[in-house]
Structures are given as structure tokens and as C-alpha cells.
């Protein structure tokens, strides 16, 4: 059998040595860790779940695509249901909310050329609602995680899910130039509508439902005192909403065509449009001023079923989206996490999978109730482009029924307050 000349043998030995070193470098580069629950996404859903699990001694890692600073500067929701506040109080997260959050008996609807209607949540449910910005809630959640000595692995890239349908799921990702493998028992997909978790579920196991609305909301923040109530205004030219964050910070929205761009909306055009849509007595009380933030958000209704695949559980916007008209998005994220954390705690304390098995159905019951409320309010309060006169008369008739019928008023207040958890 032919033998390799000595110089070739030497060269091959050197090559194999180099290869071994490179492979060794690659093997040592992949840092392998284990935890009990991996939470993907450090928005309200992910951070609330991380907090609850940590409080219950369940090991968890929170992975976030953006920087912490980016997450903390986001401006989103502003209304918390009493159910949500109960969850936050239960887990020691409501100190600042109880100190500075504004208690509201309900929200006001005003209507072009008709009397207004107050959605009296306190009268019909016995509990109020709370004005407390999602930005402040996110700050509270990050502060609580820091106090517990836990961190958020932010600026994570190349996230990939593995073996979700087995009892040993794992994830790989890059962070700060280091490759990671993270083995776990369960994965919580809390990475929002644009995240990767929902996409990790094979399409054959997924059913998606939804609507996209033919308009958007242009929102601004202004350092001026708000009017007393969250107030939705219907006007033939479009919906407007007066909201608030604190006694010196107001948030306003107007319905705009989908094609609009922020640069098309200087402040004076925004204010002129908004004031036109409120009755003159109320418009006179709105304190305008320079916007400190301005953004346009399209509206959609979306639900992905089931909210689970194997050891992956979806929660919050990763599983569903509601148009902000019903102020339900953040509140649904909180109720999902209430159900999911309860199921995970039960699993680790008793070994039972019963609540995990029923998580999706339990969460979806409340999700669909919120989808219906949000869809109904969106259709009631927004003139639709190209709608015919019949549709316009139906909208007026629906509002007149609300003005006339105490049963209709009670039903709307119960839905707006949010379906009881169980």
C-alpha cells in the first residue's frame, strides 16, 4: 500500500492540529446554560412573567432583541383595568401606580350633534379603571427585576428555537459576540406581534384570524393638563381621543388615512383637526401645545390559535392584537401572564400539567371577548372610508340605542371593564 511522503504526513498533521484548534474554538465559543423557563421578549408580558416566576423561585432567563433603553422609551398604552391592577398589587408591582395613577370611574363618548355617553365602569362593575402609562409600568417591571438581582439579556440576535415539541426544548442566540445555547423546560413567547415565537410554530398547527382597518391613529404627547376623562369623540371627519398620563402630561389621537405620514402633520394641523372633532364646549377646555412625541400606528385585530405549541406558550401581542379603541392590548397581556404563570407555578409545585394543557383555551376566552369589544368600539367610533349612507345610519342608530337603553349601557361598561378572569 502506497505510503505518504514524510513532508505530506507532516503537513497533514499540522492541518489536523489547526482544524482541531478551530473546532475547539468553535466548541468553547458556544456557551451552554440551562434554566427552567426562557422568556422571549422584555415588554410588559415578558417582564411580568419573569417577575412572578422569580418571586416563586422558578429559574428564568429573559431575552430581549432591543436595548433596555429602547424598550424603556416606548410610548404605548394608558388604561389599566381593575383586574390588571389586582394582578400588579398581588405581585408587589403597584406601589407607584397606587401613589400616582389616576382612578377613573369610566370613559366618556362624545358624538357630533348628539348628547354624550359616559361608560360608567364603576357603576356597573363596582370597580374603577386606572390611568397609568405603559411606559411607567415597564419602568416598574425593570426596577423590580433589578431589585430581585435578576437581569434582562438585551440586544440578543440570531435567536433560534429548537425541539419545541419535545420535553427538552432549547434556544440558541448571539449576544455581545458570544454564541449561547440555552436548555430549558418551557419557552414563553412574549415577543410581540413582530416577534419570532409565533413564527416558530409550524403552520399546520396554527390558525390565524384577523382584520386590518382602513385607517390609522396619529398620536401625540403634550406637556399640558389633560381634560378630566378619557374621551372618545365621533365626528363625520374622523375619530379623536383625549387621554392622559399625569396631571401635566396628555396624550391625544386622531384617526387619519393609512397613507398619512408624520411629516404631513405639523402640530397646528393636528390640533386644528382634533379640536374640530370635539364638541365646542369640550374643545375649549383642551390645552394645546408643542408635541414632545408623535407617532402613527395602523390598527388591526389579530388572533393566533392555539397559544401553545409543545413547550412553547404564547402571551400578549405575540398571540393577539386588538385595535387600541378598547384599551385592551396591555390588559390582555397581563391576563395572559396571570393564566400562564399560574399554570407554570402549579406545574413546578405539583407536577400537574392540567393548567398548562388548558392555558390556551382559558386565555383565548378572554382574548376573544376583548377582540369583540375592540372591534365593536372601532366600528362605532370611526367613520369608514367609502362607507355608504346605510352604514352611517346604522352607526347613528347603534349610538342612539346606547343613549336610550340601560341594558346596552351596562353591557358596554361590563365589556369595557374587561371580562372577569374566571
Judged by CB under 6 A, which of 45, 164, 239, 413 binds ligand FAS? Answer: 45
- Residues 243/252, Cβ–Cβ less than 8 Å: yes
For 306-420, strand residue ranges (E) read: 308-309, 312-314, 320-321
Asked if residues 409 and 120 have their Cβ atoms less than 8 Å apart, the reply is yes
**Residues ≥6 apart with Cβ < 8 Å to 211:** 300, 301, 302, 375
Residue 230 binds which of ligand FAS, ligand PHB, none (CB < 5-8 A, kind-dependent): ligand PHB
CA 49 to chain centre: 13
When binding is defined by CB under 6 A, the residue of 41, 44, 50, 78 that contacts ligand PHB is 78
382 binds ligand PHB (CB under 6 A): no
Given a contact cutoff of 8 angstroms between Cβ atoms, the answer to whether 370 and 332 are in contact is yes
- Supply the DSSP symbol for 353: -
- Closer to ligand FAS at the Cβ: 50 or 329? 329
Which of residues 196 and 282 has its CB atom nearest to ligand PHB in the complex?
A: 282
In the complex with ligand PHB, the residue whose CB is nearer, 52 or 220, is 220
Between CA 151 and CA 54 the distance in angstroms is 11
CA 9 to chain centre: 62
How far apart (Å, rounded) are the C-alpha atoms in residues 4 and 106?
Answer: 87
Is residue 42 close enough to count as binding ligand FAS by CB under 6 A? yes
Least distance CB 253 / ligand PHB (angstroms):
7
- Scanning 29-37, 77-85, 310-318, 389-397 for contacts with ligand PHB by CB under 6 A, the matching segment is 77-85
The sheet carrying 231-234 orders its strands as: 114-120, 106-111, 231-234, 240-246, 249-256, 207-222, 291-305, 320-321
Please pick, from the candidates 38, 141, 216, 243, the single residue that binds ligand PHB as defined by CB under 6 A: 243
Question: Interior CA angle at 9 toward 7 and 10, to 5°?
Answer: 65
Q: Name the minimum Å distance from CB 309 to ligand FAS.
A: 16
Does 419 participate in binding ligand PHB (rule CB under 6 A)?
no
CB under 6 A: which stretch of 57-65, 144-152, 279-287, 376-384 binds ligand FAS? Answer: 57-65
Which residue number, 283 or 327, has a Cβ lying nearer to ligand FAS?
327
In the region spanning residues 316 to 355, those forming contacts with ligand PHB, defined by CB under 6 A, are 324-325, 327
Would you tell me which residues interact with ligand PHB (CB under 6 A)? 77-79, 230, 243, 251, 324-325, 327
Would you tell me which residues interact with ligand FAS (CB under 6 A)? 40-46, 63-66, 71, 76-78, 134, 156, 159, 190-192, 194-196, 297, 316-318, 324, 327-330, 333
Amino acid at each position: 500500500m502506497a505510503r505518504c511522503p514524510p513532508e505530506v504526513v507532516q503537513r497533514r498533521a499540522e492541518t489536523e492540529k489547526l482544524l482541531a484548534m478551530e473546532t475547539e474554538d468553535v466548541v468553547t465559543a458556544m456557551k451552554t446554560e440551562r434554566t427552567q423557563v426562557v422568556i422571549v421578549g422584555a415588554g410588559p408580558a415578558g417582564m411580568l412573567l419573569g417577575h412572578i416566576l422569580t418571586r416563586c423561585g422558578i429559574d428564568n432567563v429573559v431575552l430581549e432583541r432591543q436595548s433596555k433603553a429602547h424598550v424603556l422609551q416606548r410610548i404605548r398604552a394608558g388604561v389599566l383595568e381593575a383586574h390588571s391592577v389586582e394582578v400588579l398589587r398581588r405581585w408587589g408591582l403597584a406601589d407607584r401606580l397606587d401613589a400616582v395613577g389616576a382612578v377613573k370611574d369610566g370613559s366618556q363618548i362624545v358624538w357630533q350633534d348628539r348628547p354624550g355617553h359616559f361608560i360608567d365602569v364603576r357603576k356597573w362593575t363596582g370597580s374603577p379603571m386606572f390611568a397609568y402609562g405603559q411606559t411607567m409600568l415597564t419602568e416598574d417591571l425593570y426596577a423590580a427585576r433589578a431589585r430581585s438581582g435578576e437581569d434582562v439579556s438585551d440586544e440578543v440576535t440570531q435567536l433560534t428555537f429548537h425541539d419545541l415539541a419535545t420535553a427538552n426544548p432549547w434556544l440558541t442566540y448571539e449576544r455581545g459576540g458570544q454564541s449561547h445555547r440555552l436548555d430549558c423546560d418551557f419557552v414563553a413567547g412574549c415577543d410581540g406581534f413582530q416577534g419570532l415565537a409565533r413564527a416558530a410554530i409550524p403552520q399546520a398547527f396554527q390558525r390565524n384570524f384577523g382584520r386590518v382597518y382602513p385607517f390609522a391613529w396619529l398620536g401625540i404627547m403634550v406637556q399640558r393638563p389633560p381634560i378630566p376623562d378619557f374621551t372618545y369623540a365621533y365626528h363625520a371627519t374622523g375619530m379623536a381621543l383625549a387621554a392622559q398620563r399625569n396631571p401635566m402630561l396628555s396624550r391625544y389621537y386622531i384617526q387619519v388615512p393609512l397613507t398619512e405620514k408624520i411629516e404631513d402633520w405639523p402640530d397646528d394641523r393636528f390640533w386644528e383637526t382634533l379640536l374640530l372633532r370635539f364638541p365646542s364646549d369640550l374643545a375649549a377646555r383642551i390645552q394645546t401645545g408643542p408635541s414632545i412625541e408623535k407617532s402613527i400606528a395602523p390598527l388591526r385585530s389579530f388572533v393566533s390559535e392555539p397559544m401553545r405549541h409543545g413547550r412553547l406558550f404564547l402571551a400578549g401581542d405575540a398571540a393577539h392584537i386588538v385595535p387600541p379603541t378598547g384599551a385592551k392590548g396591555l390588559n390582555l397581556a397581563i391576563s395572559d401572564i396571570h393564566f400562564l404563570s399560574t399554570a407554570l407555578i402549579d406545574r413546578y409545585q405539583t407536577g400537574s400539567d392540567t393548567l398548562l394543557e388548558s392555558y390556551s383555551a382559558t386565555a383565548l376566552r378572554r382574548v376573544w371577548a376583548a377582540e369583540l369589544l375592540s372591534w365593536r368600539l372601532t366600528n362605532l367610533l370611526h367613520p369608514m372610508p367609502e362607507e355608504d349612507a346605510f352604514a352611517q345610519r346604522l352607526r347613528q342608530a347603534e349610538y342612539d340605542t346606547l343613549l336610550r337603553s340601560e341594558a346596552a349601557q351596562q353591557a358596554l361598561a361590563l365589556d369595557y371593564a374587561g371580562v372577569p378572569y374566571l
